Amino acid sequence: MRRRLVALSALAAVLTGCAAQPSPEAQAYAEHAIALMDDGLFATGDGWSDAKQRAEARIEAADDITETYDTLRSLARLAGGAHSVFLDPDEAEASETRADELETPTVAASDGIGTLTLPAFNSGDDDLVRAYRDAALTELGGAAVDCGWIVDLRGNVGGNMYPMLAAVAPLLPDGPAVLLREPEGGEEVTAVGDGDLILPGGDVLASGTAYRWSGPVAVLTDAGTASAAEAVRVGFAGRADTRVFGVRTAGVPTGNVTHELDDGAKLVLTTSRMVDRDGRVYDRRIAPDEVTDRGEAPSRAASWLAGACGR
């Protein structure tokens, strides 16, 4: 009996020695991600401190970086709200617009009215950004439009707002177009100057075209108009001779910062709210000027434009 107990004790020691141990690498990885989340729009107060402590307790036993993912996903939503997300490496790669799947803006014109349709676009690749922007600007300048423009944002789930705003910059007045305001009051301003888009920090997405339009513009939105597409909607707020048709947008008019982590995962964190040129802050679904069924929105917009230009 004594020999059996000794043998069992020895086996237990071996099994304990073979058990996975908490990983310092996983711990450091998660701590870095959590520190980034402190900049989130809702990462304040005792509630946030308590949530961080609970998350840190859960990751203490992680023996691999992948075991921290679920905790980081939950915490990202708390820090930044519904527009924030933690993407594992596979999800992060799948979320990016690739060259072979790039959908670019299109322009159609009829009876002096042009329709610019902006699809979703989610990439920071310089070549793809230029391809998206240039597809719109080339068509804008060559369209037979003398009455007004329709900007169709329906079904555009967002992504990168800068190429979208660059695509419509010739239709916007000079000056601030969209501001991103942080809770502490800091602001990033995206502006238009002579048809070019001026990014926060001063870099310019040049239009490469002399085309400008200051006449009537109709904007179409639906419940699928989200994120960066909502930024375009905000960019037209306060513009003269502008009217929005459709239904309320998705309701995520916020600014995100994307952090790429060491393993290729991404933390997409909401840090700011959108503000229009008149100082109005957006924090929920954005209503149109005229509620219109999705299928009727283009014809209602065209009728309004025809009236606005005296036809």
pLDDT at 34 over 90: yes
Question: Which of 92-96, 157-161, 207-211, 306-310 tops mean pLDDT?
Answer: 157-161
Beta bridge partners of 114: 109, 149
The number of distinct structural domains making up the chain is: 1
Comparison of pLDDT for 296 and 185, the residue scoring more: 296
Q: What's the whole-number average pLDDT of the chain? A: 91
Q: So what's the pLDDT on residue 210?
A: 87
pLDDT for the residue numbered 20? 57
CA–CA gap between residue 175 and residue 197 (Å, rounded)? 10
The CB density around residue 136, as the number of other CB atoms within 10 Å, is: 25
Residue 67 in tokens? 């075991």
Residue 245 is predicted with a pLDDT of 99
Q: How confident is the model at residue 208 (pLDDT cuts 50, 70, 90)?
A: confident
Query: Would you state the structure tokens that stand for residue 249, as one six-digit string?
Result: 């947008």
Q: Does residue 155 lie within any of the structural domains? A: yes
Confidence check: pLDDT of 15 > 50: no
| pLDDT for position 184 | 85
**Does residue 130 lie within any of the structural domains?**
yes
pLDDT of residue 10: 45
Quick one: pLDDT at residue 301? 98
Instruction: Kindly indicate the confidence band of residue 14, based on its pLDDT and cuts at 50, 70 and 90.
Output: very low
pTM value is 0.88
In a domain, 298, yes or no: yes
Buried-exposed string 192-227: b where 16+ CB fall within 10 A, e elsewhere: beebbbbbeeeeebebebebbbeebbbbbbbebbbb
Q: Which of 20-34, 123-137, 242-256 has the lowest mean pLDDT?
A: 20-34
Residue 29 clears pLDDT 50, i.e. is over it: yes
How does pLDDT run across 270-293, given as a tens digit for each residue? 999 999 999 999 999 999 999 999
Provide the domain limits for residue 159: 101-255+275-308
Residue 180 forms part of a structural domain: yes
- Residue 107 resides in a domain: yes
The CATH number of residue 126's host domain is 3.90.226.10
> Does the residue 147 lie in any domain?
yes
Q: Is residue 32 one of the residues assigned to a domain? A: no
pLDDT of the residue at 305: 97
Q: 1 pLDDT band (50/70/90 cuts)?
A: very low
**In the numeric block, which tokens belong to residue 247?**
């239904």
Residue 36 lies in a domain: no
User: Does the pLDDT value for residue 23 go beyond 90?
Assistant: no
Question: What percentage of the chain has pLDDT greater than the value 90?
Answer: 80
For the residues 156-181, what does the mean pLDDT come to? 96
Q: Strands, DSSP E only, in the chain?
A: 85-87, 106-110, 113-117, 148-152, 175-181, 187-193, 196-198, 204-205, 217-221, 242-246, 254-260, 266-275, 281-282, 290-291
At residue 290, the pLDDT reads: 97
